[in-house]
Chain A
C-alpha cells in the first residue's frame, strides 16, 4: 500500500457512491437494531429497486439520537427520520428528491447544536464493515503518513502537543504515556485497547466499535509504530456481541488491505491485533486486571508500580489506552496536534463523547468540545428533563463518579472541574435524574454495583463495600441513626484511602458526593423517616428495599 493505491481505493469508493442519486443510511447500532432496523433497511432496499430509484441503502453505526430510533438519514440532503417502521419504507423512497416525510421528523430540535464530531466524524456516514468507505473519508491517511514521513518521536510529539488525555476516566496525558513506553527498553512491546466499558449507563466505546472500528485499529497501529510494538490486543466485553463481530470483520478487512500484518505499507513495520473477550467482570477495566485477564489469569488488579508501561503484558512494556483515546489519534495526525489543542479548555483539549441517559428528553450519544457546560448538554442537546419534571442531579463517571446538583449546571466540562465538583469525567456516562430520584437510593445502587463487582483481593474493598451497602440500606429503610452516618463517612475515608485499585479507591465517591450536596436527604431519612423523593418506604420488608433501588 502506498499513497497512490490509497488514493485509488478512496477514488473508486467515491465513484461507487456517485453512481447513485441518493444514499439512505439506516442506523444499525445495537439500540436501533433491537427495534429491527435491519428489516427497515431491507424494506427500503426492496422498495427502492421496485420504484427504480437510483439509491444506495447503507447500514451504518449509531447516529447519536438513540431515543428517536430507529434512525434513517438521507444523503446528500442530510434529512433525518426517526421512529421509522418497516411500513414507512414506501414513503421514504417516494420522498427522495422531494419534500421530506413530515410525520417521520425525529423532532431533534437543538440536538446537534454545539456538537463537534472528531471521534464520531464518520458515524452515520459509513458502513462499519466496509474498509473502503472508511478510506474514502480519509481513513488510513494518517497511518500512511506516519509510516512514510514521520519518526516515532515526532508522532509522540504531535500527540503530546495535542494535549490529548486518557478518555477512559483517569485523564492521564496520552503523549506522556506513549513517551514512557517508547523509552522503556524491550525487544517485545504490546499495545492494548481497553474496550471493557462497564459503567452503568455508558455506551460510548460500544458505539465507536460498532460504528467505526477501523478508526480504532488505525489509532492502535499508529501507537504501535510510535512505541515500537508489533502486537496488539483489543479487550472487549463479551456482552457487546455486535461490537465484537464488527471489530472482527474490520480486522480481517484491515489485514486484507495490508494495514495489519507484516511490512505494512511497504515499510519494515509489522503489527497485528487480536481480540480478547471479557468474561463479565467490571474490574477488568482496571489496566492491571485487564492484563491478568489477557494472560489467562483471574482478572484481579495488582499493586502499581511497576506500571504496565514498564512491566505489563507477560512482563513486557505495554501501552494501554481506551477505545475513545485511540479513536482520537488518526484525526490528530491528519490535522496536527495544534488543531486538536485549539478545541477545549486550558488543560482538557479536544472533544469528549458522552452517553446521555436517564430522565432526559433526548437520550443518545453526543460528542461535545471540552468546556461546554452541563446546562448546554442537558437542556440544549438533551432538551431538558423528561415529562416536565424538575431537574435534580446529573451523575457522571459511573460508580467512580458523583452526582452534581443544579448549582453546578454551569460548570464547564473538563477533567479538573469535574473532580473539584466531587465527580469525575469517567469514561463518559452522563445520567440525568429528576425529583423522583432518591439520592440515598442512588448512592446505594452504585455501592451495590461496587460490592458485587469487587474482585475480593483486598479487604477494604471486599468487606468495606459490603458494610457501606448495608449502612445505606439501613438508611433507606429508615432504621439508621446519626452514628450510622458517621460510620458510613469513616468507612468512605478508609476504603478510599486504603483500597488496592481504582475500583475500591473510588467506590465511596457516589456516597461522598451525595453527602456533600444532598445531606438533607440523608437527614430526612434518618431523623424524619421520610424520603423526600418518595422512593423509599420505611418498613423492614425485603420488597420495600427493592423498590428503593434506582432504575436508570
Chain B
C-alpha cells in the first residue's frame, strides 16, 4: 500500500486531508475526527447506503452522495455539514422516529441506543410528523434473545452480520416498503430456527432495542458492536 499513487488529497469542510485511494469519504473523515452521522454503517460489515444520514455534498456532483460508499478522489471538495444537510438529516431522523415505535422511556435500549444518540447529536428534539405506530409482533420464542419489530429501523445490520461474519444466513428481509420486516429463516419463530447458532452477533450489532438479550433490563442493555473489526483482523491473520 505504499507509494504516492495510493494517496489522495481532498478537502473536507475546508480542511485539506489526505487519504488512501481505497478509503471512503466516511473512513477518511473519521480518521481526521470529522463527524458524519451514520446508522446502517458498521465497521466490519459491508455497506448498503440505506440510512441516508451520511449524505454529504461533493462539489460538482449533481446529488448528495452517501459518504459510506463514495470513494475519495483527488481534489474532491466535501462538505459534511451545512444548514441544508443538517435539515435533511433531522427530517430523516424524524421519519425514522415516526415510522414505528421509538418511545425511549419504555425501551430496553434507553441510554444505549444509536438512534437516540443520533437525535441528541443532531438536535432533533421533537417529531413534527405523525407517528405511524403499526402494530408489529414481538418474537420471544428464542431462549436467549427477543426481536421487537416495533423498534426495528431496518438497517439490516443483523442480516449482514449473520451472513457475512457468522455465515448462518438466518436473518433476511421480507415484504417491501413500510411493510418490510427482518425475519429469521422463512419467517419461522426465532426459537424454531434450525440455522441460528445463537451466537448473538445480531443482538450486539443492532443499533436500537429491536434485538436484545432476555436478561437485560432497561439501561443495562449495553451492546458491543466493536468486536467486529477485531474479529475480522483475527480471521485475516488466521488465513494468512
A and B from one complex? yes
Query: Interface of A with B (CB < 8 Å)?
Result: 281, 283, 298, 302-303, 305, 451-460, 462-467, 470, 487, 490-491, 494, 497-500, 505
Within the complex, what minimum Cβ distance (angstroms) separates B126 from chain A? 14
Contacts of A490 in B (CB 8 A): 91
A462 touches B91 (CB 8 A): no
CA distance A490 to B92 in the complex (A): 12
Name A's interface SS. helix
CA distance A453 to B193 in the complex (A): 30
Contacts of B175 in A (CB 8 A): 456
B130 touches A498 (CB 8 A): no
Closest to B71 in A: A305
Task: Say yes or no: A459-B130 contact (C-beta < 8 A), given A466-B178, A500-B50, A500-B52.
Answer: no
Within the complex, what minimum Cβ distance (angstroms) separates B45 from chain A? 15
A459 touches B50 (CB 8 A): yes
Within the complex, what minimum Cβ distance (angstroms) separates B75 from chain A? 17
Task: Say yes or no: A460-B178 contact (C-beta < 8 A), given A302-B49, A303-B69, A497-B64.
Answer: no
Within the complex, what minimum Cβ distance (angstroms) separates B158 from chain A? 15
B50 touches A458 (CB 8 A): yes
Task: Say yes or no: A458-B96 contact (C-beta < 8 A), given A452-B177, A465-B177, A490-B91.
Answer: no
A-B contact pairs, 23 of them (CB 8 A): A303-B70, A454-B177, A455-B176, A456-B177, A456-B178, A456-B179, A457-B50, A457-B154, A459-B92, A459-B95, A459-B153, A462-B177, A462-B178, A462-B180, A463-B95, A463-B178, A467-B95, A467-B98, A467-B129, A487-B129, A494-B92, A498-B92, A500-B50
B154's contact among A456, A466, A467, by CB below 8 Å, is which?
A: A456
* B107 contacts chain A at the CB level, 8 A cutoff: no
B176's contact among A281, A460, A494, by CB below 8 Å, is which?
A: A281
CA distance A498 to B70 in the complex (A): 15
* B63 contacts chain A at the CB level, 8 A cutoff: yes
A460's contact among B49, B70, B92, B173, by CB below 8 Å, is which?
A: B92
Interface residues of B in 121-137 (CB under 8 A from A): 128-130, 132
A454 touches B66 (CB 8 A): no
Question: How many interface residues does B have (CB within 8 Å)?
Answer: 33
Closest to A467 in B: B129
Contacts of B70 in A (CB 8 A): 303, 305
Contacts of A467 in B (CB 8 A): 95, 98, 129-130
Contacts of A487 in B (CB 8 A): 128-129
CA distance A470 to B98 in the complex (A): 13
A463 touches B180 (CB 8 A): no
Within the complex, what minimum Cβ distance (angstroms) separates A355 from chain B? 26
Task: Say yes or no: A456-B98 contact (C-beta < 8 A), given A303-B49, A451-B178, A466-B178.
Answer: no
Within the complex, what minimum Cβ distance (angstroms) separates B38 from chain A? 13
Task: Say yes or no: A498-B176 contact (C-beta < 8 A), given A302-B48, A463-B95, A464-B95.
Answer: no
Contacts of B179 in A (CB 8 A): 456
CA distance A298 to B48 in the complex (A): 13
CA distance A91 to B98 in the complex (A): 67
CA distance A467 to B69 in the complex (A): 28
CA distance A305 to B64 in the complex (A): 13
* B55 contacts chain A at the CB level, 8 A cutoff: yes
A462 touches B154 (CB 8 A): yes
Interface string of B39-70 (1 = CB under 8 A from A): 00000000111111001000000011010011
Known: A455-B180, A459-B153, A464-B95. 18 other contacts (CB 8 A): A281-B176, A302-B49, A303-B70, A451-B178, A455-B176, A456-B173, A456-B177, A456-B178, A459-B96, A459-B154, A462-B99, A463-B95, A463-B96, A466-B132, A467-B129, A487-B129, A499-B52, A500-B52
CA distance A470 to B66 in the complex (A): 28
Within the complex, what minimum Cβ distance (angstroms) separates A299 from chain B? 9
B130 touches A456 (CB 8 A): no
Within the complex, what minimum Cβ distance (angstroms) separates B153 from chain A? 8
Within the complex, what minimum Cβ distance (angstroms) separates A128 from chain B? 34
Closest to A469 in B: B178
Interface string of B152-169 (1 = CB under 8 A from A): 011000000000000000
A498 touches B178 (CB 8 A): no
Contacts of A491 in B (CB 8 A): 91, 129
CA distance A456 to B159 in the complex (A): 15
Task: Say yes or no: A455-B177 contact (C-beta < 8 A), given A463-B95, A497-B88.
Answer: yes
CA distance A86 to B59 in the complex (A): 66
A-B contact count (CB 8 A): 94
B55's contact among A283, A305, A455, A498, by CB below 8 Å, is which?
A: A498
CA distance A283 to B96 in the complex (A): 22
CA distance A459 to B48 in the complex (A): 12
Within the complex, what minimum Cβ distance (angstroms) separates A416 from chain B? 15
B92 touches A454 (CB 8 A): no
Closest to A299 in B: B176
Within the complex, what minimum Cβ distance (angstroms) separates B214 from chain A? 28
A459 touches B49 (CB 8 A): no
B129 touches A497 (CB 8 A): no
CA distance A466 to B134 in the complex (A): 12
CA distance A490 to B96 in the complex (A): 16
Taking each of A457, A460, A487, which has the highest tally of chain B beta carbons within 10 Å of its own beta carbon? A457
Contacts of B128 in A (CB 8 A): 487
CA distance A463 to B132 in the complex (A): 9
CA distance A499 to B128 in the complex (A): 20
Closest to A455 in B: B176
Contacts of A498 in B (CB 8 A): 52, 55, 64, 88, 92
CA distance A477 to B209 in the complex (A): 37
Contacts of A283 in B (CB 8 A): 176
Contacts of B69 in A (CB 8 A): 303
CA distance A485 to B230 in the complex (A): 50
B177 touches A458 (CB 8 A): no
CA distance A490 to B132 in the complex (A): 19
Contacts of B48 in A (CB 8 A): 302, 457
Within the complex, what minimum Cβ distance (angstroms) separates A314 from chain B? 16
Contacts of A465 in B (CB 8 A): 177
Within the complex, what minimum Cβ distance (angstroms) separates B155 from chain A? 9
Task: Say yes or no: A454-B52 contact (C-beta < 8 A), given A459-B92, A466-B132.
Answer: no
CA distance A497 to B57 in the complex (A): 11
A456 touches B92 (CB 8 A): no
Interface residues of B in 161-204 (CB under 8 A from A): 173, 175-180
Contacts of B87 in A (CB 8 A): 494
A470's contact among B63, B130, B173, by CB below 8 Å, is which?
A: B130
Closest to B181 in A: A456
CA distance A37 to B129 in the complex (A): 53
Closest to B130 in A: A470
CA distance A487 to B177 in the complex (A): 21
Contacts of A494 in B (CB 8 A): 87-88, 91-92
Closest to B172 in A: A298
